[in-house]
Amino acid sequence: MYRLVRPLLFSMEAERAHGVTLRALDRVHGTALGRLLAPPVAPLVTKVLGLAFPNPVGLAAGLDKNGEHVDALLGLGFGFVEVGTVTPRPQAGNPAPRLFRLPRQQALINRMGFNNDGVEALVRNVSRARRAGNGLLGINIGKNKDTPNDFAEGDYLFCLERIYPLADYITVNISSPNTAGLRELQEEQALRRLVGTLREAQERLGALHGKRVPMLVKVAPDLSDDDVEACARVLGDLQVDGVVATNTTTSRIAVQDHPLARETGGLSGAPLMEKSTAVLRMLRTRLPETIPLVGVGGIMGGPDAAKKMAAGANLVQLYTGLVYRGPALVGECVDAMRRRKEAPSRGNLPPDE
């Protein structure tokens, strides 16, 4: 069914189509049309982070920044949905146009800039969600663009404290390329200071609320090998609950001949697959096995999800693939991961590279 709708959506400006799609999903959620759009996904219960995910395929942050569409998105069959990135105060983000399609390359470029209504609005929205069924909710937190990095801890703590009771897990976003200076927080000493502070707050909030909510850190695909080593060392030392690998890339090598390659922002979709998977694989070999990984970046079909799993991912997330393939991609990825998990040998599995 999505094949019939996609030409209409692709005839619209990309950000407008994004809004139209979310509003339409809300309208059809729970109806016969909604079930036709997103057939049921067979369970593949995955126990990780101390949680039982109905299946290991989730929605990456960025699609629903304000947590306004949780029920409709879970209705697409995802095992989990991650909302945000949310900041303490509302902010408009970068000027439009700021979202671009590269259909031949099955890619997007975005420079949204953490546009959102602020954490208090997200809390209200998520509190109203029914969350019927078993899908889990992640909340992704960031800092306001006008907050200097020296004071970033305060922004992350502000969000962490407010969303803690509502989240099944929390992701700390220090890797978006669209907030000036944000990626500097991945440098070893800055990372140790920030994550150390948040880990202390996580334990305090766990005692306060009577539940321990896992906290993950989302990293960039553009880290050098030395940076990945340092990042793994810090995150392993601080015993974070998990790592999301990766965010979008600033590299344009894979799309350098496209006229939109000059647009600033993060590149996602098929051209990101190899780069993000390489970082995922490096992290898996450098982090303790007790720290699970979420593989995200470039999953456009079931074989891509299986490759992420082969590289060390316990869970995967989709975003750009959903734009190009529609909801059928969710079940396709679950089935591919099921086959890989159940296969007695690697003979009939896709290669890791």
Q: For the domain that residue 177 is a member of, what is the CATH number? A: 3.20.20.70
Q: What is the pLDDT of residues 94-121, one digit of tens each?
A: 999 999 999 999 999 999 999 999 999 9
Number of domains in the chain: 1
Catalytic residues: 176
Q: Residue 341 has what pLDDT?
A: 87
Q: Residue 3 has what pLDDT?
A: 86
Q: How many CA atoms lie within 13 A of 62 on its CB side?
A: 27
Residue 58 lies in a domain: yes
Residue 163 lies in a domain: yes
Residue 352 lies in a domain: no
Given pLDDT bands bounded at 50, 70 and 90, which one contains residue 351? Answer: very low
Spatial separation of the C-alpha atoms in residues 271 and 253, rounded to whole Å: 9
pTM over 0.85: yes
Q: Record the tokens describing residue 142, joined without a space.
A: 């960031």
Q: Residue 344 has what pLDDT?
A: 60
Mean pLDDT, rounded, of the chain: 94
Q: State the residue range of the domain holding 295.
A: 2-340
Residue 346 lies in a domain: no
Residue 6 lies in a domain: yes
Residue whose pair of structure tokens reads 């016969």 in the numeric block: 32
Strands 136-141 and 169-173 come out as: parallel
Residue 353 lies in a domain: no
Helices in the chain by DSSP H: which ranges? 2-10, 14-28, 32-37, 70-74, 119-128, 152-163, 188-209, 225-237, 273-286, 302-310, 320-325, 328-342
Q: Mention every residue, 6+ apart, whose C-beta is less than 8 A from residue 247.
A: 173, 175, 176, 177, 218, 219, 220, 221, 266, 297
Q: What is the pLDDT of residues 294-316, one digit of tens each?
A: 999 999 999 999 999 999 999 99
Residue 350 lies in a domain: no
Q: What is the pLDDT of residues 116-138, one digit of tens each?
A: 999 999 999 999 999 877 799 99
Spatial separation of the C-alpha atoms in residues 340 and 334, rounded to whole Å: 10
Residue 112 lies in a domain: yes
